Chains A and B, each alone.
Chain A
Amino acid sequence: AQKVTQAQTEISVVEKEDVTLDCVYETRDTTYYLFWYKQPPSGELVFLIRRNSFDEQNEISGRYSWNFQKSTSSFNFTITASQVVDSAVYFCALSESPYSGGGADGLTFGKGTHLIIQP
């Protein structure tokens, strides 16, 4: 069965520091997708990035960057020069292909990392 582990329950840093959120996943499928979502205090889940299992290129989007390493089953998320508005709970999630014969059709979420950016 698929599983997503976010070992960091809560991280607190001072504004402008860089911070990395860890995500480790387990799956038996060779075809799968990984996602990061942000959940601010208002409650809605906001999509940040999607990465498929065949694309190990790192990605950078502004202050956000993602490091996908299949060898360690990790998909880590780094925020550089953090800002107070980055304070939220961040979820890593896994989606397996329904065509491979296994896995749920929805997202399997990690437990989330609560990121606190102090001014």
Chain B
Amino acid sequence: DAMVIQNPRYQVTQFGKPVTLSCSQTLNHNVMYWYQQKSSQAPKLLFHYYDKDFNNEADTPDNFQSRRPNTSFCFLDIRSPGLGDAAMYLCATSTEDGYNQPQHFGDGTRLSIL
């Protein structure tokens, strides 16, 4: 009965080859987030959707894009992955008043760049 599902669990791609990570949720939450977590570091917010409204963090590289075709699904696209993009990518959801509600995280996708 997983509520936030990320696929795949592990993803290997080549330097410069576009890659898409997916996230789905069964919670019907309005807000979906993408975080990047590098080894032994804290998760860092990349962007989030409030319904269909996209909110990008100021320091998120242009190389990172996102799509949310409906409430349940959200995708993270990395257009030209570099070695520095190897990380765990975490998807999370929260209800409308996200700032005061717990975020529900998926298991993450660990991305490796060859």
Residue numbers of A with Cβ under 8 A of B are 33, 35, 37, 42-47, 50, 52, 91, 95-98, 104-107, 109-112
- The complex places the Cα of A106 from the Cα of B48 at a distance, in Å, of 8
11 contacts between A and B (CB under 8 A): A43-B88, A44-B108, A45-B92, A45-B105, A47-B102, A47-B103, A91-B43, A95-B99, A105-B31, A106-B48, A109-B44
5 A-B pairs with the lowest CB-CB distances in the bound complex, closest first: A106-B45, A109-B42, A45-B105, A47-B102, A44-B107
Q: Which residues of A contact B33 (CB under 8 A)?
A: 106
Assess the A98–B108 pair: CB atoms within 8 A. Answer: no
Nearest-neighbour CB distance to chain A for B75, whole angstroms, equals: 18
Nearest-neighbour CB distance to chain A for B110, whole angstroms, equals: 7
Q: Which residues of A contact B107 (CB under 8 A)?
A: 42-44
**A91-B99 contact, Cβ under 8 Å, with A44-B105, A45-B90:** no
Assess the A107–B103 pair: CB atoms within 8 A. Answer: yes
Q: Which residues of A contact B31 (CB under 8 A)?
A: 105
The number of A-B residue pairs with CB atoms under 8 Å apart is 62
8 A Cβ contacts from B12-44 to A:
31, 33, 35, 40-44
Assess the A33–B100 pair: CB atoms within 8 A. Answer: yes
**A43-B102 contact, Cβ under 8 Å, with A105-B55, A111-B42:** no
- The complex places the Cα of A87 from the Cα of B33 at a distance, in Å, of 26
Residue numbers of B with Cβ under 8 A of A are 31, 33, 35, 40-45, 48, 50, 55, 57, 88, 90, 92, 98-108, 110
Nearest-neighbour CB distance to chain A for B79, whole angstroms, equals: 22
Q: Which residues of B contact A96 (CB under 8 A)?
A: 99
Nearest-neighbour CB distance to chain B for A103, whole angstroms, equals: 8
Of all chain A residues, the one with the shortest Cβ separation from B102 is A47
Of all chain B residues, the one with the shortest Cβ separation from A96 is B99
Of all chain B residues, the one with the shortest Cβ separation from A47 is B102
Of all chain A residues, the one with the shortest Cβ separation from B101 is A50
Assess the B99–A105 pair: CB atoms within 8 A. Answer: yes
Of all chain A residues, the one with the shortest Cβ separation from B92 is A45
Q: Which residues of B contact A42 (CB under 8 A)?
A: 107
- The complex places the Cα of A116 from the Cα of B52 at a distance, in Å, of 41
- The complex places the Cα of A35 from the Cα of B104 at a distance, in Å, of 12
Other-chain contact of B42, A35, A50, A52, A112 (Cβ < 8 Å): A112
